[in-house]
Homo-oligomer: A and B are copies of this chain.
Amino acid sequence: MLKSLTLHKDKRGMLFEILRSDDPLFNKFGQVYITVCKKGWVKGWHCHEKQTDIFCVIRGKARVVLGEVPFDNNSAIPKKIKFKEYILDAKHPSILTIPPNTWHGFECLSKEPIWIINMPDQLFDHKTPDEYRISLKEMPYKPWQSKRGG
């Protein structure tokens, strides 16, 4: 689900609310982190069993791709997936929710690296991460502009 954000500009600069705890989109606060990806690179594919991600691109222009397949840890390579593509440009900020059991990856389409704020509803547990990964080669999605990734 994609939601546009409102920029409040004045002579001093601007302010924009990204995520409020009274937003129907909001479930629980896990953490806030920033992930940065350079031109020519894909970060993906990732999938979480429990975690919902909430992405906000605050620098650059990203393509975020969601593969909406029921996640099955026993079947490593999904065969039939419907992909949804989102172009997220920091010039018009929005938030994108990525539900659990959704494969996702993103690439940098801008000259400058993309900066994504993620506000997942779960804490990343470094010992037992709720994160499954497959390589770009294993996923039947080929339109990436970037050649490298992982």
Interface residue ranges, A against B (CB under 8 Å): 11-22, 29-38, 41, 43, 58-59, 108, 113, 115, 117, 119, 123-124, 148-150
Contact = CB atoms under 8 A, between A and B. Distances in A.
Main secondary structure of the interface of A (DSSP, over half): strand
B20 A31 contact: yes
Given A58-B115, A117-B117, A123-B22, A13 B36 contact: yes
Nearest to A121: B21
Contact of A38 (B13, B17, B34, B38): B13
Contacts of A14: 35-36
Given A20-B123, A21-B123, A41 B12 contact: yes
Contact of A12 (B20, B21, B30, B38): B38
A34 B22 contact: no
A16 to B, nearest CB: 6
> Which of A14, A15, A34 has the most chain B CB atoms inside 10 A of its CB?
A34
B12 A150 contact: yes
B34 A58 contact: yes
